[in-house]
Structure 1
Amino acid sequence: MTRGTGTKYQFDERFLSLSQVDLEGFTKSFYFGKNREKQLQRGYNSSASSVFDDYNWRFSKSVREETVAEGEETFFAKKNTFEKEIVSKIDDASMKKCFEVLNKKLKDFEVDTIDLSFIDSNAPFDSAFLSQKLEKLDLPVTTLGSGVEMIISLLFLETLAALSKEKIVVLIDEPELHLHPHLQEKFVQYLIEFSKTNQVFISTHSPYFFKNCLSNPQIELLVTKNTDSGISVENTGLQFGIFPWSPSWGEINYSAYDLPTIEFHNELYGHLQETQQKYSIDQVETYFVSKSITKSKKWAKMKNGQAQQPEDVSLMTFVRNSIHHPENTSSGGYTPQELKLSIKELMKLIKNP
């Protein structure tokens, strides 16, 4: 990115999250990139950093104002007991000897005695992490899979925002990564509900997200495509609705991801037969000819395992027959380019019968 002064400015994904500063009434943004660990780790612009920094401040304030009844231990006394318990689980004699020798040497340099600490009394939440308890183990959420980790992170942040009555903006790059299709379905429903009170931006290649969002008038669904002149952005409302039951999985894969499938071809061919009331292949072929479509391919039927005399057929019927009769290899198969071209021709006929 070039500044107005002509100098270069390096922009990266870190800046997709605004600095997590506490400004009353100011919407916070959270960016979930492909590295799902970022939001749950401390670091620059990390969501966890702002949360744990707040917890550290509250803890420090509470300890400073702490009063204990007679006979009760202060936090620091409990901390010392706990840390001694940790050390006792190992061969503490060698550790004790190590620090005795070290402190003796430090004394010569007029340095006060040091010891080993496991909890930072000023910032105990710096070493905190979200975990799942399993018997005697604390499993960090980073071990549960990056897809699940992202869901935990988002739910954690959303819960905190709800409790503090904050508005947030969430940006997620490919939320489907490492998520089972069943979880993708559940997650997209959660995001739809979540977006009623917050703003959500996602980029996705998942047909599950696409299909569940397409019929919702409150969701702006855009498709980006690479063209000779650059990247184009199109509203999906202009691309769907070819069937009464639209969108189908085949329609989504073709229109959104430029992926022609045999399922979509079957849908198109069958729908054309139904709308034009051409129920036999001969009737369909006659209809194609009436629309100036040439019979550019040859198809040989099989009878008792023997190929019959090849017949001239249209590309669409050739592809249809090849899909429906994979056992018939006498006529050769269709290419991916032919499948795509056949789908285009069928779509033209359905839109302009």
Structure 2
Amino acid sequence: KNTLSSSYMTVLNHYASSFFTSNEFTKLNKSVNESLSQLQAELLDTMSTKLSKLVNEQFEEDIETYVNFKEFKPTHYLQNSELRIKENNIDTNLFDNGNGMQRAVTISLIKEMASINNLNMAPSVFLIDEPEVFLHPMGQKSLARELVKLSIDQQVFIATHSPYIIDSYTKDEDDINSMTVLHKLTTGETIIKDISDEMTNITNRPTTAEISYFAYNIPTLEFHDQLFSKAQDNTKTHTIQAVDQKFLEYIRNNSNVESLHSFYTETKHDTTKYYTLPTKIRNLAHHDYNSDCLKDIVDGELLRNSIEFLLIFNKNF
């Protein structure tokens, strides 16, 4: 829009600033303002006089009305402009186009703002709702990087459902202050939960599976597998049987864990026996993905329970 604080006006003003400081514009603007002053004087004998007379007839007082032209400034010229789209020789105003085109242009303007060094603008707050709409996943990742640049000097809030936007951030590197989940309940109440510190269980950058679990409350075999591999790294074990024994030891030494969930479950793969639920799920996912047993685990609460166990195990080991 043509408001002074909009992204369009900010970018336009940046690229037009040299023109507005030129001698040519100074002369032009002086001439325009002189002409407006002349017009204002001419209107005193016509429009202003007639309006004053009509007003005084109603109030029976000595009231004078007149037209005043404000001095023209560079911003007035900018606000008289418009963004237009030309496609297949059809020329239209941006706002006569669909939401997809409008959003694409808006996002492009924000990306351009982020690329301009020493942008002359007052500190602003950007509130961006679902910037991923109409964007290809690679475009979403590109946009996320630009928003990080923009946030160096400006405050940026993003509301998103896109894992491609979220997993583009690392809290330590990009100084992202918070990642918050909002749940709107059927009662109308909104629950707000900061998940910033929960999103780096695998690496310093949240994985898509991790986002699905903490942001959208969806347990996945992918996240379970990532946590299982992380447990192997933490325990420095090289075989599935060895890490399974570590799980078993932890369960036996923490009675409250087994009392909450049945993590002890004896299974067999080839000739090797295993004794914990995380290992059972891992083996089924790797070797018998289409089994009814694994389907029941995923559809029920066992997968979530096992993920919660692995989160606790990795945190405390």
Output the TM-score relative to the length of structure 2.
0.59
2:288 — aligned with what?
326
Deviations 1:165-220 (A, max 9, x none): 44433211111122111111111222222222333222222223323333345432
Number of residue pairs the alignment of both structures matches: 241
2:194 — aligned with what?
234
User: Superposed, which structure 2 residues align to 1:1-353 within 5 Å?
Assistant: 28=5, 62=32, 65=35, 130-138=83-91, 141=94, 142-143=97-98, 145=101, 147-152=103-108, 154=110, 165-215=121-171, 216=173, 218-226=175-183, 231-234=191-194, 236=196, 238-292=197-251, 296-297=264-265, 299=267, 301=269, 313-327=275-289, 329=291, 331-333=293-295, 334-336=297-299, 337-353=301-317
Match of 1:130, as an amino acid? L
Q: The residue matched to 1:221 in structure 2 has which SS?
A: coil
Give how far 1:297 is off: 4.1
Residues 1:134 and 1:325: Cα distance change in structure 2 (over 3 Å) = same
RCO higher in structure (CA 8 A, sep ≥6)? 1
Looking at structure 1, the residues matched to 216 and 86 of structure 2 have their Cα atoms a distance apart, in angstroms, of 41
**Contact 2:130–2:159 (CA<8 Å) still a contact in 1?**
yes
Deviations 1:15-51 (A, max 9, x none): xx9x95x7xxxxx478xxxxxxxx99xxxxxxx9xxx
What's the % identity of the aligned pairs? 24
Give how far 1:285 is off: 2.8
Deviations 1:291-333 (A, max 9, x none): 225555464657xxxxx9x977422112112211235626453
**Contact 1:299–1:331 (CA<8 Å) still a contact in 2?**
no
**Contact 2:195–2:214 (CA<8 Å) still a contact in 1?**
no
**Contact 2:127–2:157 (CA<8 Å) still a contact in 1?**
yes
Looking at structure 1, the residues matched to 238 and 288 of structure 2 have their Cα atoms a distance apart, in angstroms, of 21
Give how far 1:227 is off: 9.5
**Contact 2:199–2:210 (CA<8 Å) still a contact in 1?**
yes
Match of 1:318, as an amino acid? K
Give how far 1:126 is off: 10
Structure 2: where are the runs of 5+ without partners?
13-27, 37-75, 252-257
Looking at structure 1, the residues matched to 243 and 212 of structure 2 have their Cα atoms a distance apart, in angstroms, of 26
Residues 1:245 and 1:155: Cα distance change in structure 2 (over 3 Å) = closer
Looking at structure 2, the residues matched to 175 and 286 of structure 1 have their Cα atoms a distance apart, in angstroms, of 46
Deviations 1:39-78 (A, max 9, x none): 99xxxxxxx9xxxxxxxxx99x949949xxxxxxxxxxxx
Looking at structure 2, the residues matched to 331 and 134 of structure 1 have their Cα atoms a distance apart, in angstroms, of 55
**Contact 1:260–1:340 (CA<8 Å) still a contact in 2?**
yes
Looking at structure 2, the residues matched to 159 and 313 of structure 1 have their Cα atoms a distance apart, in angstroms, of 55
Looking at structure 1, the residues matched to 190 and 121 of structure 2 have their Cα atoms a distance apart, in angstroms, of 42
Looking at structure 2, the residues matched to 246 and 124 of structure 1 have their Cα atoms a distance apart, in angstroms, of 46
Structure 1: where are the runs of 5+ without partners?
1-16, 23-27, 31-38, 41-47, 49-57, 67-122, 303-307
Residues 1:140 and 1:181: Cα distance change in structure 2 (over 3 Å) = farther
**Contact 1:296–1:312 (CA<8 Å) still a contact in 2?**
no
Residues 1:299 and 1:329: Cα distance change in structure 2 (over 3 Å) = farther
Looking at structure 2, the residues matched to 183 and 241 of structure 1 have their Cα atoms a distance apart, in angstroms, of 24
Looking at structure 2, the residues matched to 330 and 311 of structure 1 have their Cα atoms a distance apart, in angstroms, of 20
Q: The residue matched to 1:213 in structure 2 has which SS?
A: coil
Looking at structure 2, the residues matched to 330 and 198 of structure 1 have their Cα atoms a distance apart, in angstroms, of 52
**Contact 1:265–1:343 (CA<8 Å) still a contact in 2?**
yes
Q: The residue matched to 2:169 in structure 1 has which SS?
A: helix
Structure (1/2) with the larger helix percentage = 2
1:103 — aligned with what?
none
Q: The residue matched to 1:138 in structure 2 has which SS?
A: strand
